[in-house]
Amino acid sequence: MNSNIITKTVSYADLGRIQYAKAWSLQEDLFNETVQRKISNRNLSEADQQPTSHHLLLCEHNPVVTLGKNADLKNLLIPEQGTDNVEVFHTNRGGDVTFHGPGQLVGYPILDLDEYYTDISRYLRNLEETIIRTIAEYGIIGDRLPGATGVWLDPNDPLRARKICAMGIRCSRWVTMHGFALNVNTDLMFFNLIVPCGITDKAVTSMEKEVGEPLNFEEVKAHYLHHFSEVFNCKLEINE
């Protein structure tokens, strides 16, 4: 780590199990607050400008399918209005269609990339790196698939390539929202409700499936926080 880089402070909140709509609303509030602060600072002298804040939200969701801005409805295999057990949301993130549910670690970083680097590709690669390091704690070798986001296992083997973590973000005025969904102990049967990310020829997996037993979710979360703080060179400040 470069000691000349000033460590950022990121406010961290564990939302627990939360409805997707409520988490999205919270993201929007933090995102809009950050954007408005940046707009206001433009009209102030440097001495009077207020620093923007950075946030990381971790949570689980009840079963929900979300569609990105460019999603193809053909990849949604249940009614667009959802079912009794699974909600469906059209979102403002990038990407296609994905599933969130219990046993899945979902992360929403709301970062001002002007304070880091104004490079979306670099941001996504770093977000992938936090997952790759986390699953490595359990002997799972994560990798990237050229031309796709997320974290994959055996991406270069057409017969074995499988996704363990999906990603989709929104970035405006260099402020991020949305993020990643890491399958920890996720019931993979839910992915039969969609064509994950519109990819028909590759499977979906979970840490539980790869290791052969359910994992301690809180332990996985703790490993993730450690690696997030390393990759993004930040100090996590718990927000109760």
Active site residues: 197
Torsions phi, psi of 81, nearest 5? -85, 0
Q: How far is CA 62 from the centre of its chain?
A: 16
DSSP 28-91: HHHHHHHHHHHHHHTTS-TTTPPPP-EEEEEEE-SSEEEE-TT--GGGB-S-TT--SS-EEEE-
The DSSP code for 234 is E
Cβ neighbours, 10 Å, residue 51: 10
Give the C-alpha separation, 142 to 135, whole Å: 7
Which pair of tokens denotes residue 54? 């950075």
- Cβ atoms of 136 and 146 within 8 Å: the answer is no
The DSSP code for 106 is E
Give the C-alpha separation, 186 to 206, whole Å: 6
**Angle, CA of 209, 215 and 218, to the nearest 5°:** 140
